[in-house]
Amino acid sequence: MSVDMLSYLFIGGSFLLYIGIAVWARAGSTKEFYVAGGGVPPIANGMATAADWMSAASFISLAGLISFIGRDGSAYLMGWTGGYVLLALLLAPYLRKFGKFTVPDFVGDRYYSNTARTIAVICTIVISFTYVAGQMRGVGIVFSRYLHVDINTGVVVGMAIVFFYAVLGGMKGITYTQVAQYCVLILAFTVPAFFLSAQVTGHFLPQIGLGATLESGQSVLATLDQLSTDLGFAQYTAGKKSTIDIFFLTVALMCGTAGLPHVIVRFFTVPRVKDARTSAGYALIFIALLYTAVPGVAGFGRVNLIQTLNGADNAGTAYADLGEDHWFKNWENAGLLAWNDRNGDGKIQYAAGAAFDGKGGKPALTEERGEFGQRVASNAKAGADFDAAKQPFANEVYVDRDIMVLANPDIAQLPAWVVALVAAGAVAAALSTAAGLLLVISTAISHDLMKKTINPNITDKQELMYARLAAIVAICIAGYFGINPPGFVAQVVALAFGIACASVFPTIMLGIFYKRMNTQGAIAGMLVGLISTVAYMWYFVWGGGTADEYFLGISPGGFGTVGMILHFIVAIVVAGMTPPPPQEIQDIVEDLRIPRGAGEAHAH
């Protein structure tokens, strides 16, 4: 059976499974829609949390990111996993004991203010829409390759699927759908990883593959260093970012993880407080299965990419020799890979530098250069600036880093069923997180704005209707961001973590551990953290700012840590200058941290 047929079978079968689960577990009340009725077992919640967490950024983009930037990618590994330790120890049990549905719910009640609640809703929506943009782009990438449609059509198909099980099933439907999606995505990531590791190193475990010795007598990492320097790239194991930037990025990703609304809400779905901590532990184990394999997958993929395109002697691969079903042509047709024959020799040569004019190395949309994803019409014209003596390996290939994990099985010529399994896993990863994010957005609007702030007298049925309407609107907006993404998947997601780190995380931490924190301090801190971080990111990602202008050399992804520090300072100073919170609030905060009665949640 062909790869296309298997892809249709695997992806279609998984869709039927997800929709079937959503229908079976559809929500009948607001409690089931928001927190699955509060009765999800810890191990199931751990799987659902892992699926919610391991988005298109983890499945599709992380290994591709590390493939291209090397050692600096460790910040993402450390930050995204270390954040779960913070979440399990510092937040999850206390939030569950507080007993509310959402992060804005906690903020509104803890800080006894609808203004604080509304600002928390704004933070939640900004974080969630930034995050979901990456997920929808991931869905579009998968469909563009495996269903042979353009990325925009792929995004629309993904929107339709999410609509069914997010709007119909609510948190109850999403939770059990995400259990199934975790099983699909972990198999889809680890099975090819075992194949790749065995093929490249002779060892099945990708976790130890990077240190394995190849036939050349060198380790995988030493081979990557040599290949990289031979072709003009920086050494794979060399750090390119400054130490302070790596540190701030890691902290932003860690604290952002602990402050993500769609992850935090998962801990309201378990029956008891201790189950919140237990399910966080399960989630960390389930996440580690994928994350410990990522460095190996990134390294093997990079070696295979270079050696396949350039050949063993770096002389290049003749384009005319590639069959119509060759992996290069498949991804070229999807618009995520492009070749510019700069020296006119008919061979594909991959090296350092931009193959095309235009931002990020993408082909410029001019008559001379042709449409994006197509080769230049006139090789002689395109190669006019090429000097073989000065640039023996000038780059001729544009590679979208988001294709690396998906293309790995193709490049390594793994069995067709493995390629199809990866496609199904990538869709599961993107859709599971997208559904969780969209639910958080709809909950923030229907529960925290409509029910708690604007019209407290609405019935459960009306609230559920508002939640579903908000989810529909959110899906449409998410689709727009998927079609017009602000960057590649992991980059966009990292920005969401920075915003969460600067706005939500300090507010929750101070709410749990600082009795003196009051309404004024919380509002001032959230506004300073949110505005400073979003403004910095906006200027440097979309506003034309350059790396030379970075504050202390800190990139936009790491600025969330600066925003967090500003948030803490401003919140504590303002709280100290204004009246303390009411005694009953201080008593609640004191009681939150006492183990006595930890088996039950509060109902205040």
Instruction: State the CATH number of the domain containing residue 206.
Output: 1.20.1730.10
Q: Could you list the residue range(s) of the whole structural domain that residue 403 is in?
A: 312-411
Residue 529, pLDDT score: 93
Judge if 131 and 256 occupy the same domain. Answer: yes
Residue 71 included in any domain: yes
Report DSSP state, residue 542: T
Phi, psi of 373 (to 5 degrees): 90, -5
Residue 600 included in any domain: no
Judge if 67 and 181 occupy the same domain. Answer: yes
Judge if 352 and 442 occupy the same domain. Answer: no
Residue 595, pLDDT score: 53
Dihedral sign, Cα of residue 227, residue 230, residue 231, residue 235: positive
Residue 336 included in any domain: yes
The string of pLDDT tens digits covering residues 544-578 is 778 888 888 888 888 999 999 999 999 999 999 99
Residue 276 included in any domain: yes
The string of pLDDT tens digits covering residues 375-421 is 333 333 344 444 444 445 578 888 877 788 888 888 888 888 888 88
Residue 7, pLDDT score: 78
Of 65, 440, 120, 127, residue with least CA distance to 257: 127
Residue 603 included in any domain: no
Whole-angstrom distance, CA of residue 430 vs CA of residue 46: 18
Judge if 230 and 318 occupy the same domain. Answer: no
Domain-ending residue, one of 396, 411, 426: 411
Residue 61 included in any domain: yes
Domain-ending residue, one of 383, 411, 439: 411
Residue 69, pLDDT score: 82
The beta-strand segments (E) located in 365-442 are 397-399
Judge if 343 and 287 occupy the same domain. Answer: no
Judge if 385 and 421 occupy the same domain. Answer: no
Predicted TM-score of the model (pTM): 0.78
Judge if 397 and 535 occupy the same domain. Answer: no
Residue numbers in the chain where pLDDT is lower than 50: 36-37, 359-361, 364-391, 596-600, 603-604
Q: Are 280 and 270 in contact (CB under 8 A)?
A: no
Judge if 442 and 344 occupy the same domain. Answer: no
**356 φψ region: left (φ > 0), alpha (ψ -120 to 50), beta (else):** beta
Judge if 399 and 424 occupy the same domain. Answer: no
Q: Are 161 and 504 in contact (CB under 8 A)?
A: no
Judge if 336 and 282 occupy the same domain. Answer: no
Residue 274, pLDDT score: 77
Judge if 509 and 573 occupy the same domain. Answer: yes
Judge if 295 and 321 occupy the same domain. Answer: no
Residue 313, pLDDT score: 67
Report DSSP state, residue 383: T
CA 324 to chain centre: 33
Total number of domains constituting the chain: 2
CB neighbourhood size of 540 (10 A): 20
Domain-ending residue, one of 378, 395, 411: 411
Residue 43 included in any domain: yes
Residue 597 included in any domain: no
Whole-angstrom distance, CA of residue 324 vs CA of residue 388: 30
